Amino acid sequence: MTASSLSDSEYHQQTASLLAVIEAQMDRWLEQDVVDIDTHRTGGLLELAMPDGSKIVINTQPPLHEIWLAARAGGYHFRYEAGRWVDTRDGQEFFACLSHHLSLQAGRSLVVAPDVS
């Protein structure tokens, strides 16, 4: 795979939006008493502390124009292609991967969807 077609400013805009969507969903789930996932954000790193004590970490990688996701089951690298973040190995979409690992680590079905507005 080649580098993303995003400029540096577009990359930063896309990743800021992606992290904001995730934080907003975690806040909604907390408010609706669905699941208590604590979030901690430092710059381009977002840590999700799961109820069982495990973590999922989403980290921007500006030099590579990638997003990295680390979950209990492993690590994944995503690159922006054709309007979505896809895994550099198998082409899986970022939000599908995140939802899968959130569900595994929370022990219940959880779905995070991209902001399509």
pLDDT tens per residue, range 68-81: 999 999 999 999 99
Phi, psi of 30 (to 5 degrees): -65, -45
Whether residue 113 is contained in a domain is answered as: no
Query: 85 lies in which domain range?
Result: 8-106
Question: What's the number of domains the chain is made of?
Answer: 1
Query: Which CATH number does the domain housing residue 41 bear?
Result: 3.30.920.10
Q: What is the pLDDT of residue 116?
A: 60
- DSSP conformation letters of 47-102: EEE-TTS-EEEEEEEGGGTEEEEEETTEEEEEEEETTEEEETTT--BHHHHHHHHH
Whether residue 90 is contained in a domain is answered as: yes
Whether residue 1 is contained in a domain is answered as: no
User: Which stretches in the chain have pLDDT values below 70?
Assistant: 1-4, 116-117
Whether residue 115 is contained in a domain is answered as: no
The pLDDT tens digits of the residues spanning 50-74 come to 999 999 999 999 999 999 999 999 9
What is the percentage of the chain residues whose pLDDT exceeds 70? 95
Tokens of 81: 């292609």
Token pair 């997003």: residue? 67
Give CA separation, 10 vs 18, 58, 71, 80, in Å. Answer: 12, 18, 26, 10
